[in-house]
Amino acid sequence: MAGYDRITRWWPLPALLLAAALPAGCRGGVGESCITDSDCRQGLVCLHQQLYRGGRIWQEGSGRCGADDDGDQVADDGDASGSAWDQRCGVHAWLNPLTGEEVVNEVVLTPCDDNCPGVRNSHTLFRFDCLAGDDCCQLDEQARSRLTGSELCREVTDQPSSCDQCLSGAGGEGPTPAWCFLNFDAQGGYDIDANGCLRCRPLSLRVPCSIDATGHDSCQGDARLPRVACSGRWGCDTSLGICSFRPEQFYQLDDSGHVVRYQLDQDYDGVGDSCDNCPQTPNGVDCRNPRFAYRCDSDGDGVTSPLEISQYGDQRNDDGDLWGNACDLCPQLADNDNHDADGDGEADPCDPDDDNDRICDPGQRHFSCHGVDNCPDLYNPGQADRDHDGQGDDCDPDLDGDGVRQDGDGDGLAGSHPCNPVLGPCCAQPPCPTEDFVCRDCDDNCPEVANPDQADSDGDGRGDACQ
């Protein structure tokens, strides 16, 4: 399949349910057949695959013994090799930050080892398709007459339907991967391009919509919406007020008809996203695997050195916070936020100058900055402070120091509600009282000149002191 290096499958099992019991007294090891947990050695459970038959999911009678402490139906040593890290499961996908497109580098499906042995993180894999009754199905009327509307269009023709073309792409390359691994979102549907092809991204085509009192959905038949490529329909998302495409989901099945499960591992390091302390930077168990160590080249010189593996591999986390050394912007100081306000590569607790204006944050001393920043979170190299209160003008809520704030009513718009002393007394000297004071919930009518009385003789919203 285009875009995938490898797809592997689970142990081949008969399609029919098996009910044969194991010999009495025999308890199976990893990878051996079982009917119930009691058929497996202590510490192991009997893992059953699921079959899709007749529109329903059935659990197979026969399974395989394996350790599955997190209960996500993916065995710790899924390939029964004796190692729980030599063949880690994972859909190695990432989002292109410029286009928002999903890029799938590799797919490793069972038999493989659980990439988060202590965290339940497997998901059922769905795909999109066309039904015989859909507009996207290109079968002629005679072919359609032999099918019910709920049968898959692709099952009765070798010719690619419009849905297949959009999903797999003509010639094996297309705008959409045939399998969609990222979770369905709640942001208003899915992106559909000019060809009507579905991308597993939030809807970018924003067509306003409404549902009237009779229940009529304005998205139905709206000419601005492209023809859908897959089974599903356009509908109005009333919470967002835009049309949303709602595709019908189909189980992705392997060659034996088993439901396929997957685990995400965006950075391709053998540790699933659900338990990875650097989910977008390789630093997992695969750094020790000679086949995959190249992914852990932290300095980009083309070689993963033993030093890089020891410093960053195996999820090394020297300060014990939520971030591994490989992506921790403050690796020697525990900081769960890992926030970098000025984008200089240092997290705020380790950065002597958070806003990068070359003025040191309060309490910090460093060769790269000087002085004491009066606006430590806001770039202001000039350090202007007209009321000399220790807060720079760029971050001072009361520029003139008269006790009345520029945005006194807190609506986010300075000057939108200027104080009017006619409505009640204003204090003569700051600090102004905070209780039963009319002027406390209004904006300074003269923000650059101290006027605690907020006198405004003509009531024009501009204080007398700055007329």
Pairing label, strands 63-66, 56-59: unpaired
Tell me if 192 sits within 8 A of 198, measured CB to CB: yes
Contacts of 184 (CB under 8 A, 6+ apart): none
pLDDT in tens, the chain (467 residues): 333 333 333 333 333 333 344 444 468 999 999 999 999 999 999 999 999 887 789 999 999 999 999 999 999 999 999 999 889 998 887 767 776 666 777 788 878 999 999 999 998 888 778 888 887 777 888 888 888 888 888 766 655 556 656 655 444 444 445 556 655 555 566 777 666 666 666 677 788 999 999 999 999 888 888 777 788 888 998 888 988 888 888 888 888 889 988 898 988 899 999 999 999 899 998 888 887 788 888 888 888 899 988 899 999 999 999 999 999 999 888 989 898 887 888 888 888 888 888 899 898 888 888 899 899 888 899 999 888 888 888 899 998 888 888 988 888 888 888 887 766 556 656 666 556 555 667 899 999 898 888 888 888 889 989 88
Contacts of 306 (CB under 8 A, 6+ apart): none
Whole-angstrom CA distances from 227 to 26, 119, 165 are: 59, 41, 14
